[in-house]
Amino acid sequence: MFLPWLFFMVSAGAIVFAGTKLSRYGDQIAELTGLGRLWIGVVLMAAATSLPEVFSTMSAGWIDALDLAAGNLFGAGMSNMLTLGLIDLLYRQKRVWQQAALGHTLTATLAMVLTALAAFFVLLRVEVVHFGVGFESVILLILYVLGACPTLRSTTACTVPSDSL
């Protein structure tokens, strides 16, 4: 009983430590590359901080704990929204909502659409599968890819230099 709690707490501590380092280095990468904090945050930071979520969700799927996997994904979205609220409460120099780049509204909209669609697919219960993959997963992936670049269009990462046309 004690050992799983210990491993859980040590793992969480490692994630906290790594998260603080990721923020610092992500900011340095944004500055050095000129890609900007919006792009680094939405793409690199989100990918890096999602790695524990990805692997814990995949491992839950491998042990056939599908409710644990779905709960992890939907719960992470809820936790992220709580974190945004807490940041605004605790960061007293400026209001976070008024300082964030407007490009985040597009990112948030895409996230809400994808989350709502995933919740709808949980309710839908359609069994359309090709090569072992449900059509719901394909739709979510396609919408993510189609929405990601327009969401980031305001950054240099998704713009094509006019002299290369």
Mapping DSSP onto H, E and C, the string for 70-134 reads HHHHHHHHHHHHHHHHHHHHHCCCCCHHHHCCCHHHHHHHHHHHHHHHHHHHHHHCCCCEECCEE
Structural domain count, the chain: 2
Same structural domain for residues 90 and 110? Answer: no
Indicate whether 17 and 92 sit together in one domain: yes
One domain for residues 85 and 151: no
Does 49 share its domain with 82?
A: yes
Residue where a domain stops, chosen among 70, 96, 122: 96
In a domain, residue 1? The reply is no
Report d(CA 13, CA 66) in Å as an integer: 25
> Tokens standing for 20?
């603080």
Give the single-character DSSP code of 144.
Answer: H
Query: What are the tens digits of pLDDT across the range 38-79?
Result: 778 878 888 888 888 888 888 988 898 888 888 888 888 888
| Residue 2, pLDDT above cutoff 80 | yes
Task: Give domain status of residue 161, yes or no.
Answer: no
Q: Are residues 70 and 117 in the same domain?
A: no
Same structural domain for residues 27 and 86?
Answer: yes
Instruction: Say whether 135 sits in a helix, a strand or coil.
Output: helix
Domain of 56 in residue numbering reads as 9-96
Judgement on whether residues 58 and 91 belong to the same structural domain of the protein: yes
Residue carrying structure tokens 């990112």: 107
Do 64 and 131 fall into the same domain?
A: no
Q: Which of 96, 125, 141 is the last residue of a domain?
A: 96
Which pLDDT band, with edges at 50, 70 and 90, does 103 fall under? low
Q: For position 7, what pLDDT does the model report?
A: 92
**Most confident stretch, 35-39, 56-60, 78-82, 98-102:** 56-60
Q: Are residues 86 and 30 in the same domain?
A: yes
Residues 141 and 108 in one domain: yes
Q: Residues 92, 112: one domain?
A: no
Q: Tell me how many degrees the CA angle 127-119-85 measures, rounded to the nearest 5.
A: 160
- pTM exceeding 0.95: no
* Together in a domain, 90 and 118: no
